[in-house]
Amino acid sequence: MTIVCHRPEGLDQLEAQTNFNKRELQVLYRGFKNECPSGVVSEETFKQIYSQFFPHGDASTYAHYLFNAFDTGHTGSIKFEDFVTALSILLRGTVTEKLQWTFNLYDINRDGYINKEEMTDIVRAIYDMMGKYTYPVLKTDAPKQHVDAFFQKMDKNRDGVVTLDEFIHSCQEDENIMRSLQLFENVI
Amino acid sequence: MAAGVAAWLPFARAAAIGWMPVASTPMPIPPQDKRKGQDGFIILNVSGTKFQTWRTTLERYPDTLLGSTERDFFFHEETSEYFFDRDPDIFRHILNFYRTGKLHYPRQECISAYDEELAFFGIIPEIIGDCCYEEYKDRRRENAERLQDDEEMDMSNDVTPVNLTFREYLWRAFENPHTSTLALVFYYVTGFFIAISVMANVVETVPCGTLPNRSKEVSCGERYALAFFCLDTACVMIFTVEYLLRLIAAPSRCKFMKSVMSVIDVVAIMPYYIGLVMTDNDQVSGAFVTLRVFRVFRIFKFSRHSAGLRILGYTLKSCASELGFLLFSLTMAIIIFATVMFYAEKGSTATKFTSIPAAFWYTIVTMTTLGF
């Protein structure tokens, strides 16, 4: 078994590239290194870590999609730079950047469009992760209803797929979504 | 949740962005972390050895001494550090527990010292990692057994409390012959009679020359029948008296009657009484002869006199399950091979294996490599 060890770029460079200051980067890196001493996160480790936060359900599918979204270079493993870049966008980025990142997450095959199957997969993954303990208790066809409602809202020209612009526009019109996006500011 | 994973909490919260557009209701506000001072160092001085760690590392486990406000009691103002007057070698492992989330048990440390340190720092031993748990449990069990043995020895060497009832005194005399001269005398007398009784059983069967009016050799038991009968009576009287006295003196009669030694006592004297009752009946005399075999169990009464024999008994008892399994697997093998042998020779007419049980004897003798 070859041990892959990766060291991130210098602290100064990372500080310049992301929206975190030095102290926050230090705290993030210490946590990262503790869990992944080799410096890279494999998909397995990623899934394990994520499952610990959601013990009630099966978080592996959603973790898989998340992993692909984090792993921008499609190398099969996440380095600290990828990790911190994604976190920087999610926690400190502009609204457009956040929405773009979310669109990327939903667009599983990276073709620039979200179609119904992709959306259904994502919604089902989320429901699996929530497990049996959602309130109110979800019915089995709830994912389908959810996806239909989503497409109703987002797909402006009714062509069956959602593009990036449609997505961003529709989200900006929705009060709830905008308010939720603001909540991520203070997470770290 | 492992300690290190807590650091990934911002990541988990950020990943919530994924279901945000899909959700039909607005997201709940994430709980605010209480910003409890900065992320600073804590210096722990354990008997002169300085350990340093982050404050947040210790606060991962708030229900232990170091993670809660209890550590403030050990704060030393002049040097601005926390001082503990404990063993630094063991403390190393305790601190590692905070750092890695796994508690290890070092083999070279004494189990009692380790347990004390854990108790002092408020860490429950059940969280010891799998790598060290077996070792820990074994050492703990050995220690507990040693303590129990010590206690029993202490109890028996206690100075005689003055106000014993006669019954308690009698019981003590039986259990520990060294308490008084009378007990010692009784101990040796019973031992002597056990030996006599066993020897009489053995000598009874030795051929003793012929009687004047018979041509066949007779055993000594038949020739001196009266003498042996008197000897047997005397022994059984002593044993009966001893058993009754023990029964009277026992603190818990039910428990005494169920104990192994009392069962052996009863089995040792039963054949004599049964023999008294049914001397004239020829039909059951065959069964009576079989009963006399049980007189040989008197030899087990020696185990009260020999600690080594008792230890042997305990050993057998403690590996009873393993011995039982050995017996079971041997039986399985015997049955399999006896069946095979029986069917192998079924065709032939001059075979000794007329049935599967008939093949058992052959199989047993062969498997135990006796081979006759």
pLDDT digits (tens, 9 = 90+) for A161-177: 888 888 888 888 888 77
Q: Helix count (H) and strand count (E) of chain A?
A: 10, 4
Task: Give Dmax over CA atoms of chain A in angstroms.
Answer: 52
The CA distance from B56 to A36, in Å, is 19
pLDDT for the residue numbered B338: 92
What token pair was written down for A10? Answer: 């210098």
The CA distance from B122 to B98, in Å, is 12
Phi, psi of A156 (to 5 degrees): -70, -45
Give the chain B residue whose CA is nearest to the CA of A103.
B18
The answer to whether the CB of A52 falls within 8 A of the CB of B5 is yes
Contact A66 B18 (CB under 8 A): yes
Query: How near does any CA of chain B get to the CA of A55, in Å?
Result: 10
CA distances to A44, A144, B172, B179, B245 from B161, rounded to whole Å, are: 69, 84, 11, 12, 22
Write the single-letter amino acid at A43: E
What token pair was written down for A78? Answer: 């996440």
Chain B positions touching A90 (Cβ under 8 A) are 14-15, 17
CB–CB contacts below 8 A, A to B: 92
pLDDT for the residue numbered A61: 86
For residue A152, the surrounding DSSP H or E stretch is helix A142-154
If we measure between CA atoms, which residue out of A90, A127, A146, A184 comes closest to residue A154? A146
Chain B positions touching A46 (Cβ under 8 A) are none
Phi, psi of B95 (to 5 degrees): -70, -35
The answer to whether the CB of B365 falls within 8 A of the CB of B337 is no
Query: How near does any CA of chain A get to the CA of B5, in Å?
Result: 7
Chain A positions touching B20 (Cβ under 8 A) are 102, 177, 180-181
Task: Give Dmax over CA atoms of chain B in angstroms.
Answer: 119
Query: How near does any CA of chain B get to the CA of A181, in Å?
Result: 8
The SS3 assignment for A72 reads: coil
Contact B8 A49 (CB under 8 A): yes
CA atoms within 13 A on the CB side of B289: 5
Chain A positions touching B60 (Cβ under 8 A) are none
Query: How near does any CA of chain A get to the CA of B47, in Å?
Result: 29
**Residues of A at the B interface (Cβ-Cβ below 8 Å)?**
27-28, 30-32, 34-35, 49-50, 52-53, 62, 65-66, 83, 86-87, 90-91, 98, 101-102, 105-106, 122-123, 126, 146, 149-150, 167, 171, 174, 176-177, 179-181, 183-184, 186-188
Chain A positions touching B8 (Cβ under 8 A) are 31-32, 35, 49, 53
The chain-wide mean pLDDT, for chain A, equals 80
Question: Of A30, A65, A187, which is closest to B10 when you measure between CB atoms?
Answer: A187
If we measure between CA atoms, which residue out of A138, A25, A116, A104 comes closest to residue B23? A138
Chain A positions touching B55 (Cβ under 8 A) are none
Instruction: Read off the pLDDT of residues A14-34 as tens digits, 9 standing for 90 and up.
Output: 888 888 888 888 888 888 887
Instruction: Read off the pLDDT of residues A75-97 as tens digits, 9 standing for 90 and up.
Output: 888 888 888 888 888 888 888 88
Contact A149 B8 (CB under 8 A): no
Query: How near does any CA of chain A get to the CA of B311, in Å?
Result: 51
Residues 6+ away with beta carbon under 8 Å from B231: B196, B197, B200
B323: burial class by Cβ within 10 Å (0-12, 13-18, 19+)? exposed
Question: Of A65, A90, A150, which is closest to B14 when you measure between CB atoms?
Answer: A90
The answer to whether the CB of B106 falls within 8 A of the CB of B68 is no
Mean of pLDDT values over A28-56: 82
Chain A positions touching B25 (Cβ under 8 A) are 176
pLDDT for the residue numbered B38: 54
Contact B7 A28 (CB under 8 A): yes
Contact B14 A102 (CB under 8 A): no
The answer to whether the CB of A43 falls within 8 A of the CB of A76 is yes
Residues 6+ away with beta carbon under 8 Å from B10: A28, A87, A91, A187, A188
Question: Of A123, A126, A184, which is closest to B14 when you measure between CB atoms?
Answer: A184
The CA distance from B358 to B362, in Å, is 8
If we measure between CA atoms, which residue out of A132, A130, A97, A133 comes closest to residue A19? A97
The CA distance from B6 to A35, in Å, is 10
Query: Regarding predicted confidence, which is higher, A64 or B34?
Result: A64
Residue B41 bridge partners (DSSP): B54
Please state the length of chain A: 188
pLDDT for the residue numbered B36: 45
What single DSSP character describes residue B71? G
Contact A52 B10 (CB under 8 A): no
Q: What pTM, to 2 d.p., does this model score? A: 0.53
Chain A positions touching B12 (Cβ under 8 A) are 50, 53
pLDDT for the residue numbered B46: 92
pLDDT for the residue numbered B1: 38
CA distances to A57, A107, A126, A144, B296 from A138, rounded to whole Å, are: 13, 25, 12, 12, 77
Give the relative orientation of helices A43-53 and A60-70 as an angle to the nearest 10 degrees.
Answer: 130
What's the average pLDDT block by block, 10 residues per block, for chain B (372 residues)?
61 73 61 56 91 88 86 85 90 91 89 90 87 90 86 68 76 81 87 90 82 74 85 91 89 87 87 77 67 80 84 90 94 93 86 86 90 81
Does this complex have an ipTM over 0.85? no
| DSSP states along A131-148 | GGG-SSPPPTTHHHHHHH
Around Cβ B347, how many Cβ atoms within 10 Å? 7
Contact A187 B13 (CB under 8 A): yes
The CA distance from B327 to B317, in Å, is 15
Contact A34 B4 (CB under 8 A): yes
